[in-house]
Structure 1
Amino acid sequence: MLALGLVLNTLGIGLFCWAIFALAVYALPFCVALSIGVMTFQSGAGLVGALLIATAGGALTLVLIQVAVAVTRSLALRIAIATAFAVPAAVAGYHVVFAVSHIGVPSLAWREVFACLGAVCIGLTSWTRLMVLAETRPLEPGGVVENPS
């Protein structure tokens, strides 16, 4: 029974860490959705209306960012958009790892180190997930025919 408890605890902690890591990547759309939801609720839309509008706002933010990165030809603009998406994810990752590290790390210095590493990992993951959507384009000029007949 003790072994089963240890295995289930390990799996539970692993699932919890995976969920935090996967969800922290979407910090910017969540922040936008939360802001829109609170503003809508305070304006008198009610709980259901605020939830619907907040969900639509967060989803629209995520889609617009992904489309902007995929459509934009300028590499500098793609990097700027992806960085604006990754910075809130890195901040969320820092705070989550710092809070979770209170469980098993007694030293404040090591908690800071782990939190900074978590912020870098989650920020890079968010940036990478967004940049993967940008397809590489060939360096050929448009409309030029190779072998005219």
Structure 2
Amino acid sequence: MLFTLAVFALPFFAAVTAGTWAYGTGAGWLGAILVGFVAAGLTFGLGQLLLATVRPTWARLLIAAAFVAPAVVAGFHATHGIVKHTMPSEAWQTAFSIIGAIAVGIVAFACITGMAASSPVAGHVSDT
């Protein structure tokens, strides 16, 4: 579940930020939730659109990195929360947390690029 949800770390952070802002400006709970859902959808949709339409490899890597970086942070903290209860050594906790962060980052990168590769490119008609 962690690997699946890691892809959505950036949209989640965008949703929380936008929802908190909306609540702080007087939108209430319902307004904050709606603004959060819209922000998450727009963030994810815009990322997928950019990955599907942008052609330079360096730009695609930057877009993917924008989604992978929050996933790595989330993977580090999720792994650290687990290993903190299973081993007393802080050095080993940190080592395993870094390994978990790398694993989550790799899986998130594969998922993000896989979703972009499976989406149809604008103007491209498949033979099937």
TM-score by length of 1: 0.75
1:8-23 equivalences under 5 Å are 19-23=1-5
Question: Contact 2:7/2:112 (CA < 8 Å) preserved in 1?
Answer: no
Length, aligned pairs only:
118
List gaps (5 residues or longer) in structure 1.
1-18, 137-149
For residue 56 of structure 1, the aligned residue among 34, 38, 48 is 38
**For 1:69, which of 31, 38, 51 is the aligned residue?**
51
1:85-143 Cα shifts (integer Å, max 9, x gaps) = 1011101110110111111111111111110011001111111111113439xxxxxxx
Q: How does 1:31-46 map to 2 (within 5 A)?
A: 31-46=13-28
Indicate the residue corresponding to 1:97 in structure 2. Answer: 79
1:88 aligns with 2:70: yes
Is the partner of 1:106 in helix, strand or coil?
Answer: coil
**Among the aligned pairs, what percent are the same residue?**
36
Whole-Å separation in 2 of the counterparts to 1:27 and 1:93: 10
**What SS is found at the alignment partner of 1:132?**
helix
- Displacement of 1:20 after TM fit? 2.8
Quick check: 1:86–1:123 contact (8 Å CA) kept in 2?
Answer: yes
Considering only aligned residues, what root-mean-square deviation do their CA atoms show, in Å?
1.4
Letter in 2 for 1:45: A
Q: Which sections of structure 2, spanning at least 5 residues, go unmatched?
A: 119-128
Aligned counterpart, 1:127? 109
Which secondary structure state, in structure 1, belongs to the residue aligned with residue 87 of structure 2?
Answer: coil
Q: Does 1:117 align with 2:99?
A: yes
> Which one scores higher on RCO, CA 8 angstroms, separation ≥ 6?
2
TM-score, normalising length: structure 2: 0.86
Moved more, 127-136 or 64-73: 127-136
